[in-house]
Structure 1
Amino acid sequence: MAQKHHYSTEPEHFILSPETEPLLERVLFNNRSLVLMLLGVLTLVFAFGLTQIRLDSSIEKYIPLNHPYIQNYLVHKDDMKSGMANIKIAVAAVEGDIFDDDYLKTLSKINDDVFFVAGVDRSGMQSLWTPNTRWTEVTEEGFQGGPVIPANYDGSQASVEQVRQNILKSGQVGRLVANDFSSTVINVPLVDINPETGEKLSYQALSHQLEDRIRDQYSSDKIRIYITGTPKKLGDLLDGAVSIGYFFLAAMLMTAVLLYLYSRCPKGTLVPIIASLIAVVWQLGALALLGFSIDLYSVLVPFLVFAIGISHGVQLINGIAIHSGQGLDKMSSARQAFRGLYVPGMLALLSDAMGFLTLLFIDIGVIQELAIAASVGVAMIIVTNLVLVPIVMSYIGISPSGVAQAQKAEKANPVIWQWLSHFTEKRYAVVAISLALVLGACGFYYSQDLEIGDLDKGAPELRADSRYNQDNDFMVANYSTSSDVMVVMAETPIEMCNTFKVMDVLDRFMWQMENVPGVQSTLSLVTVSKLVTKAMNEGNLNWYALSRNQTILNTSIQRAPSGLLNADCSMAPVIIYLNDHKAETLKTVVNAVEAFKVEYDDQVDEIYFGMRADAIENAIAEGKIDAVPLRLQLASGNAGIEAATNQVIADAQDTMLIFVYVVVFCLCLLTFRSLTAVACILLPLALTSILGQALMTWLGIGVKVATLPVIALGVGIGVDYGIYIYNRLEALLISGLSLKDAYLETLRSTGKAVSFTGVTLAIGVATWMLSPIKFQADMGILLTFMFLWNMLGALVLLPALARVLLNPERIRERHQRAHQGVPPAV
């Protein structure tokens, strides 16, 4: 170790000598056995933690709990019948209609089986067989009514005919009964806690129960079962997540094959793969020990951790092979590679981690936990790949075949490297930069149409031909009430939600919303009052209106469903059925609600909303307030939750992107102490970000919970290529080479590893395009694009920018000043 080894292409700080050994290098390599023992103990600890990891399907993690809309919903959660956790089961007759005794008996059995499924809110269930589904009519003797299926139903033709008449009188056609009478729906509200286990309700387990006990058991040549609802969608997504394991295995196998073809060294192939797998074990084990769980989105993180680990491991193996080919022994080769790469490696990994942490700006549980999981994974890579790989290789070294391959590559002069080196020449650099400016301008213009939210009907997280989306299409085609529901909560003082002035405002609000594009229909206490008032007056349409007589109003809503007002009549929801939950539809409806609120919302002091009716009447009489206070609050229902999520993403995406670039800028500036160096690294990255957003616009992929992380990942992971290329290029410039020669030498070493990892990682994530989970397929498309474009940017645009921006003499001068103890100039 006392010898010095000088190479014409190495700067002074890469000379292998005790005098220039960094402290970190001495600590690690002088205590190799102890370091390996510590890493082994940590692996056992985290492996134990891995056995404690669990999959969490809690719906609250997928919504922005701190958004005002969600806060409003949570205040009235117990009063709502159209919240987040509801399932609809349609039981359809394959031939004929529902007015058949066999069909009705089967529906009864299904109703009973669903009733006993763990997690069902049995008091809120509704179907033709539940007592809360009633019919009402007005006769000469007054109101008459009862359950749609009477207690004396016996299956006879007369009984079936009675059920037909009751259904027609119930007002449930289009809601609980299909418009063509071919099917009926069982509405199934859910509880948060599984009463059998005392733990959070598992939507995946619930989905399996519905499939096994309902769909599989009752589907036949006479009956078809269709199941929709957010919990069912999440259950299907979690089932589809199993495929991620297969894609992970496929990516690992492809990486192993390509890495062997690249290095021709079995040891150089296995060590980075094993080290990356250890990083995955450490990450998952650490998360479990910290109390975190794995959800639908963070389950993708282990692949990213493995991919990042491979990219850094390849750089180290490549460096060790090059130095071994130059005659150094295995210890010296490992130390030399570590010394040359630990600074850019640490910088790249810190940039990765900060890119992930910017996702914490998004106030949605699954995204924040993804950020934490990915950051923990990157922290593990710093140890497993920058420490474990070189230490292990210092023991086992590169195989003779690997050394021969490195020597062959060192002497080779591929045409592709010669061609790429031309971008350090002025005319080629101008062409590359001009083309980049044109692409950037076109991409920026095209990306202005990028939408926030879903752009497809149904469940865009799943493919259009998935079972869930086919079930959803059936519901939309056969029922008048859409599965996309937005609920606006009308808050009033206690016992005043049914006053004329309040209901008159709600009537005006409903009329206005029904004329908004994208709205199918509305439903509220007003609807019930009008129907009953008309019925009480011989069905005369002239009476289909709100009565100003409070006694008549009170009578008209006596039997209103509990979901249309709360127990103390201080809140009456207005249910708005939408055509879909596309981003433009939600934006239009929310804007219409907000516009109405500005005109009609009462800005009375909060204290009045807690008063009872008599106190409010006294306040009106005394002139303290002009009318009954009324406040329209957004929002509940799946469309309301989606609208809140879109707003959170829209508010945070620009902040997140700016922050990640600022952090990467600062890290690169602190490391390279040069604004021109930072520009060379970040400008290709910025171009990829712009083109990535343009690609999303072209493919019709909106910015949403599933795709937003890709934007940060593209920056955090993509910067690695530029850092490694520039670090090597600067070192060679300092050694005295011209820009073109330095870049050609960079391509032969670091550039070869960068191009290999870029292509390998792109192939790995490209397999995601085959996933049954559409958001994983979308992420696969975007990540493949970003991996390849970041690689091309580092290989083509970076040298072109270096030709225009860098001054090799100034770089050498700054290096000399730094070695003389003079602070370098930026």
Structure 2
Amino acid sequence: MAEQKHHYSSEPEHYILSPESEPFLERLFFNNRFLVLLILTALTAVFAYGLTKVKLDSSIEKYIPLNHEYIQNFLVHKDSMKNGVANVKISVEVTDGDIFTKEYMETLSKINDDVFFINGVDRSGMQSLWTPNVRWTEVTEEGFQGGPVIPSTYDGSPDSLEKVRQNVLKSGQVGRLVANNFRSSILDVPLVELDPETGKKLNYQEFSHDLEEKIRAKYGSEQYRIYITGTPKKLGDLLDGAIKIGFFFLAAAIATAVLLYLYSRCIKGTLIPILASLIAVVWQLGALALMGYTVDLYSVLVPFLVFAIGISHAVQIISGIAIEAGKGENKLMAARKAFRGLYVPGMLALMSDAMGFLTLLFIDIGVIQELAVSASVGVAMIIITNLVLLPVIMSYVGISDSGIRHAEKTEKSEPKLWKFLSHFATRKVAPVPIVIAIAMAVVGFQVSQDLKIGDLDKGAPELRADSRYNLDNDFMVSNYSTSSDLLVVMVETAKEQCNSYKVMDAVDRFMWHMENVPGVQSTASLVTVSKLVTKAMNEGNLNWSALSRNQTILNTSIQRAPSALLNPDCSMAPVIVYLNDHKAETLETAVAAVEAFKIDYDDSVDEKYFGYRIPEIEQAIENGEIDSVPVRFQLASGNAGIEAATNQVIADAQNTMLIFVYVVVFLLCFATFRSFTAVACIIIPLALTSILSQALMTYLGIGVKVATLPVIALGVGIGVDYGIYIYSRLEVMIIAGKSLQEAFLETLKSTGKAVSFTGVTLALGVATWMLSPIKFQADMGILLTFMFLWNMLGALILLPALAHFLLSPERIIKRHKQRHGDIAPAG
């Protein structure tokens, strides 16, 4: 705080200050103004260069919790798993007739060839009616017969088309690669992790564009319709939508400029804050690029926040300069006094913002952690651009005469709204907002108890229901029997033992267990193949649709099993669980069922036995080290398994993060104001907003997930700014000898106006997100707009009511004298 050497007065703004009383930072910046501008200009050039290095990142790994047990289990078998998240399905539908026509098969063949040569496709694992790995099998009197669904003799004639039809029926692909109504078929396209040409991670946005240009645009017509789903395609669509939000940024900037001019009535007081905030955005993006960070779906939103936060703090500076200029100060002194009075609360508010963002580091998901770093770097840049660069520039250019006259008029006027709000600091009115707040907190808490973790909508909830991707997904779900939501459980055993009776029997029991779980459509595994083949070998008799205890029969039954159902050394056999959807409740039920089976069945044996081969296992059994072949069930892979792990990470970190952000805000506020009651006045409105925001999420059907979890920290970290500015000014007025109501009225006439403008500006900055084609961005926009506006109302209405009951003006004055002696605070 400044050490102004004078006595208390009812007019704290009119103190005569000696150079020695000026704060060190004020002297440092304003006595070396030209040097400061020169250094900041050089930094702007450096970060502007960094801005040219900014890249969008489409890596899937950033969106999943890599350190979670489920993901670690998946990574162990990643190379042999065919049911990970990097798969795309392309369905080709004929609008008239069915797929068994010469024209359709020719079109499908061309699409198959084009997809085969798209960069990033794992060609060895690709499946369609035209790939040789999609086969039919039957048992005849002469034994097993089979071959590719489309044989080498195919020539498009009616006879060959009929042969294809028969082969499709024998292949077991109806409902999987071929639609139940025979009007469409699927190309199942796995992707490689690294781009084979560049050696870098595959760019899913570019891959998505290739699919659109080379497949959908080329072959889509009135006769043939193309549908594309899969996590990589969804991610590509999300990144395309993220780029479009640049228009929302421009709209928010223009609207903010208009509001800022109406607020300041000064062209310079409008353009320079916007310039300073834009420089903060350039610094933030440039610094992150130079540090090696990339921009993803979540961090692309941070420039919005940085700009909005920058404007909100700039308003306080411009308002302070205008007020000082209206009292006759020259440009330099007006800027210095505004800085002197606001740098402490400004620094506190921005540090609270940064610490609120950093609490996101508790979430062990790459995109959220990078969002934390990105936002914290942005706030650090605002501290320099808005608390240093802005006042230094204004010390040269000053406020225009029209801006000064507007500030004088505002300062002298006593709007009815401010007079009305000042009554909330009186004994008669103060209980009203407190009682209402308590009632709202109780109701909000009750409603928020139904808040769910994870997705609550079908399809891709990150995109709008009418998006192209979700329409494509609806087509897939409606026309094929197998769900696109897969939970893959990895059954581990010793090497070459995945086809042993004990392991197969355990898998069989597990499949029966899961097929009776609500939300599970069906299951598939090596056991499925074994039963089908054994039945076929016995003339299709249903009595033989069972596991044989004869190891030779078991070995024979899985000779032609797809490679996706066992790994190369037969030490792991995945069980594919098809779910109705990936809603939070469905995932919780399925995962709980797997965990319950594991508890009752899993062997608790030394890890080393799972790496043994047959002779070693036999020797261990003979020595009495183990009873039988070891087997255990490991979660999880598939898109549903990945999402289940993500939901668990979010559920575990949600409360920890929220507690930490409030602890940090409490400590920062207490270190500044040295009063528990002062901190209570600032934090209680924040807590009410947090409760109500969770109730709003419940009401709107928005689950807590990767996209919405950061909102909790952002809302608290940024929302505390209102209370800090209001309380700082209120304390100054109380120390000056005014009653609580008078002090609050004076606070409203200066800081209150700026705070209300700040609330509107912040809300406007994020409200444009509601127009985004990306639903999770729209959800974030709704929640942040609500939290910013509600925090503003809390600071203007609930804070003074709490202050009436919690604050003691005598204690405030006494505490100030103990800390500073007979010295008044900066005005």
Look up the equivalent residue of 1:636 and give its one-letter code.
S
The aligned residue for residue 674 of structure 1 is: 675
| Residue deviations 1:214-251 (CA, integer Å, cap 9, x gap) | 00100112111000000000000000012210110000
1:321–1:333 Cα contact (<8 Å) kept? yes
The aligned residue for residue 451 of structure 2 is: 450
Aligned pair in 2 of structure 1 residues 37, 10: CA closer, same or farther (>3 Å)? farther
Unpaired segments ≥5 residues, structure 2: none
Match status 1:281 vs 2:286 = no
Matches of 2:374 and 2:531, distance apart in 1: 54
The aligned residue for residue 773 of structure 1 is: 774
The aligned residue for residue 591 of structure 1 is: 592
Look up the equivalent residue of 2:794 and give its one-letter code.
G
Q: Using the TM superposition, give the Cα deviation of residue 14 of structure 1 relative to its aligned residue in structure 2, in angstroms.
A: 7.1
The aligned residue for residue 295 of structure 2 is: 294
Matches of 1:176 and 1:725, distance apart in 2: 64
2:305–2:765 Cα contact (<8 Å) kept? no
1:89–1:227 Cα contact (<8 Å) kept? yes
Alignment of 1:311-710 (within 5 A): 311-710=312-711
Matches of 1:179 and 1:13, distance apart in 2: 84
The aligned residue for residue 240 of structure 2 is: 239
| Residue deviations 1:424-473 (CA, integer Å, cap 9, x gap) | 11121111111111111111111011000000000000000000000000
Match status 1:737 vs 2:738 = yes
Matches of 1:15 and 1:282, distance apart in 2: 38
Matches of 1:147 and 1:701, distance apart in 2: 47
The aligned residue for residue 723 of structure 2 is: 722
2:305–2:766 Cα contact (<8 Å) kept? no
Look up the equivalent residue of 1:465 and give its one-letter code.
D
Q: Using the TM superposition, give the Cα deviation of residue 769 of structure 1 relative to its aligned residue in structure 2, in angstroms.
A: 1.1
The aligned residue for residue 91 of structure 1 is: 92
SS in 2 for 1:426: coil
1:425–1:740 Cα contact (<8 Å) kept? yes
2:4–2:21 Cα contact (<8 Å) kept? no
Aligned pair in 2 of structure 1 residues 333, 599: CA closer, same or farther (>3 Å)? same
Match status 1:163 vs 2:164 = yes
1:14–1:339 Cα contact (<8 Å) kept? no
Matches of 1:123 and 1:7, distance apart in 2: 83
SS in 1 for 2:225: strand
Aligned pair in 2 of structure 1 residues 15, 423: CA closer, same or farther (>3 Å)? farther
Q: Using the TM superposition, give the Cα deviation of residue 7 of structure 1 relative to its aligned residue in structure 2, in angstroms.
A: 9.6
SS in 2 for 1:722: helix
Look up the equivalent residue of 2:670 and give its one-letter code.
L
Q: Using the TM superposition, give the Cα deviation of residue 623 of structure 1 relative to its aligned residue in structure 2, in angstroms.
A: 2.4
| Residue deviations 1:797-816 (CA, integer Å, cap 9, x gap) | 00000000000011011111
Q: Using the TM superposition, give the Cα deviation of residue 618 of structure 1 relative to its aligned residue in structure 2, in angstroms.
A: 2.3
SS in 2 for 1:242: helix
Look up the equivalent residue of 1:498 and give its one-letter code.
N
Matches of 2:631 and 2:304, distance apart in 1: 51
Which gives a bigger RCO, structure 1 or 2 (Cα 8 Å, sep 6+)? 2
SS in 2 for 1:227: strand
Matches of 1:625 and 1:193, distance apart in 2: 41
Look up the equivalent residue of 1:613 and give its one-letter code.
I
Q: Using the TM superposition, give the Cα deviation of residue 760 of structure 1 relative to its aligned residue in structure 2, in angstroms.
A: 2.2
Alignment of 1:43-58 (within 5 A): 43-58=44-59
The aligned residue for residue 752 of structure 1 is: 753
Aligned pair in 2 of structure 1 residues 14, 532: CA closer, same or farther (>3 Å)? farther
Match status 1:182 vs 2:180 = no
The aligned residue for residue 153 of structure 1 is: 154
Stretch moving more, 424-433 or 556-565: 424-433
Aligned pair in 2 of structure 1 residues 40, 471: CA closer, same or farther (>3 Å)? same
The aligned residue for residue 199 of structure 2 is: 198
Tell me the C-alpha RMSD between the 2 structures.
Answer: 1.5
Look up the equivalent residue of 2:223 and give its one-letter code.
K
Percent sequence identity is: 76
Could you tell me the TM-score, scaled by structure 2's length? 0.98
Unpaired segments ≥5 residues, structure 1: none
Look up the equivalent residue of 1:696 and give its one-letter code.
M
Look up the equivalent residue of 2:525 and give its one-letter code.
S
SS in 1 for 2:428: helix
Aligned pair in 2 of structure 1 residues 271, 242: CA closer, same or farther (>3 Å)? same
1:87–1:227 Cα contact (<8 Å) kept? yes
Matches of 1:8 and 1:130, distance apart in 2: 88
Aligned pair in 2 of structure 1 residues 5, 310: CA closer, same or farther (>3 Å)? farther
Q: Using the TM superposition, give the Cα deviation of residue 116 of structure 1 relative to its aligned residue in structure 2, in angstroms.
A: 0.3
Matches of 1:13 and 1:496, distance apart in 2: 88
1:323–1:337 Cα contact (<8 Å) kept? yes
2:756–2:792 Cα contact (<8 Å) kept? yes
Could you tell me the TM-score, scaled by structure 1's length? 0.98
SS in 2 for 1:41: helix
Matches of 1:3 and 1:580, distance apart in 2: 66
Match status 1:254 vs 2:255 = yes
2:763–2:785 Cα contact (<8 Å) kept? yes
Look up the equivalent residue of 1:302 and give its one-letter code.
P
Look up the equivalent residue of 1:378 and give its one-letter code.
V
Matches of 1:439 and 1:14, distance apart in 2: 44
SS in 2 for 1:427: coil
Q: Using the TM superposition, give the Cα deviation of residue 127 of structure 1 relative to its aligned residue in structure 2, in angstroms.
A: 0.4
Look up the equivalent residue of 1:591 and give its one-letter code.
A
2:176–2:482 Cα contact (<8 Å) kept? yes
Matches of 1:547 and 1:190, distance apart in 2: 36
Q: Using the TM superposition, give the Cα deviation of residue 768 of structure 1 relative to its aligned residue in structure 2, in angstroms.
A: 1.4
Aligned pair in 2 of structure 1 residues 439, 480: CA closer, same or farther (>3 Å)? same
The aligned residue for residue 19 of structure 2 is: 18
1:351–1:719 Cα contact (<8 Å) kept? yes
The aligned residue for residue 212 of structure 1 is: 213
1:537–1:543 Cα contact (<8 Å) kept? yes
Aligned residue pairs total 822
2:7–2:822 Cα contact (<8 Å) kept? no
1:70–1:641 Cα contact (<8 Å) kept? yes
Q: Using the TM superposition, give the Cα deviation of residue 199 of structure 1 relative to its aligned residue in structure 2, in angstroms.
A: 1.9
